[in-house]
Structure 1
Amino acid sequence: MEENNPWTILESRKVYENNWIGLTEHQVLNPSGGKGIYGEVHFKNYAIGILPLDEELNTWLVGQYRFPMKAYSWEIPEGGGPLDADPLDSAKRELAEETGIIATEWEEIQRMHLSNSVSDELAIIYIARGLSMGEAEPEETEQLQLRKLPFKAAYQMVLNGEITDSMSVAAILKTNIILQENQI
């Protein structure tokens, strides 16, 4: 099968923009030649996720109310990193901000698109090891709870549908496979 772009963009216009996202509306010809519109959300940061894992295979989850979902969510520590910065530096900053944890060992385990039907957001996920505890310093927009638990309990939360955040689900499932294969 060909991997060429079957869409034709006739016209594009910026509909909205802020410090984090831009929204563009495209007038298009779809792959069948029909006219239509396509809305595209452009993210100005990487999505960064970190699964901290200590020697006893404990991890930490962050709980917070997610405004767009209108629901409380338990997740791995997450945040954003500028596209022109080293994602690992952003991961180190986010882990320290949200949990107070400093890690000496980092492994990138996943790159994934979070909603490739409407956005270009790229997530980069790390496992952090060699942990030491410090003081969390969340941003003013964050009201966080921190929860330490065995990794197996976090894995069970994914299986039970208690963790639904896509980066958290991917990180926990991938880490479970890595642990089963004794790769860390």
Structure 2
Amino acid sequence: MEKGLEGRLKEKLVSSEEVFQGRIIKVQVDTVELPDGKTAKREVVKHPGAVVILPLTDEGEVVMVRQYRHAPGEILLELPAGKRDGGEEPLECAKRELEEETGYTAEQWQVICSFYTSPGFCDELLYLVLAKGLIKGEARPDEGEFIDVVTIPLAEAAQMVLSGEIKDGKTCLGILAGCALHDHDE
């Protein structure tokens, strides 16, 4: 990082007030001191973090899930993903979530990258995990989860991202990263 950026850009926490505690998230209002000495309020969603899995078959297909998402009010096509439980390591979470949501297990695992979902107001950090050497099994979705498991060729999934048919951000990043990795490997 460029020297001096912290002093020119970083905000200092003055106080924090929790305004909501839910099952998965909490919301707090932070008072911060800006680099110019003024103060500002920041509404922050605190999240334990999650993983998104890019499961690739030997045939170059992506295992995906189709499910209804209440917030946007749509049925979305997504990569399998899930919340990390109590400090759970990303790889352990990825293995658990892939099997629960799709029934698949994998012989090879690799953390590709990590990224913030929406850093303007949320601290949720997602890990993108590649899963290869897939073995099909029986899905065991959580109670209240209704999921269809589908497989789509990686190139077709990428076209669905670019056409706007796939709208979920973590899925878009995962699919396009998969294409970049595939191109790099060739």
Question: TM above 0.5, one fold?
Answer: yes
What does the per-residue CA deviation read over 1:41-87, in whole Å, with 9 as the maximum and x for residues that have no partner? 1112x211111111110111111111111222110111111252221
Alignment match, 2:163: 160
The amino acid across from 1:93 in the alignment is R
Matches within 5 A, 1:5-24: 6-24=10-28
Match of 2:40 among 36, 42, 45: 36
Check if 1:128 corresponds to 2:131. yes
Deviations 1:138-163 (A, max 9, x none): 11121111111111111111111111
Hey, what does 2:102 align to over in structure 1? Answer: 99
Identity %: 33
Q: Please say if residues 110 and 171 of structure 1, whose CA atoms lie closer than 8 Å, have aligned partners that are also in contact.
A: no
- Which structure dedicates a bigger proportion of its chain to helix? 2
Counterpart amino acid of 1:17? Answer: Q
What SS class does the counterpart of residue 107 from structure 2 fall into? strand
Q: How far apart in 2 are the matches of 1:97 and 1:29?
A: 44
Distance in 2 (CA, whole Å) between partners of 1:179 and 1:76 is 17
Q: In 2, are the aligned partners of 1:62 and 1:75 still within 8 Å (CA)?
A: yes
Residues paired across the two proteins, number: 182
CA distance in 1 between counterparts of 2:151 and 2:14 reads 52
- State the superposition RMSD in angstroms: 1.6
With normalisation by structure 1, the TM-score equals 0.92
Question: In 1, are the aligned partners of 2:54 and 2:131 still within 8 Å (CA)?
Answer: yes
Identify if the C-alpha distance between structure 1 residues 10 and 107 changes in structure 2 by more than 3 Å, giving closer, same or farther. closer
> Aligned AA for 1:11?
S
Q: Give the gaps of 5 or more residues in structure 2.
A: none
Residue type at the aligned position of 1:57: G
Cα offset, 1:10, TM superposition: 3.3
Other structure's SS at 2:185 match: coil
How far is 1:109 from its partner? 1.0
Which of residues 48, 51, 56 is equivalent to 1:53? 56
Bigger fraction of residues in strand: 1
Contact 1:102-1:134 at 8 Å conserved across structures: yes
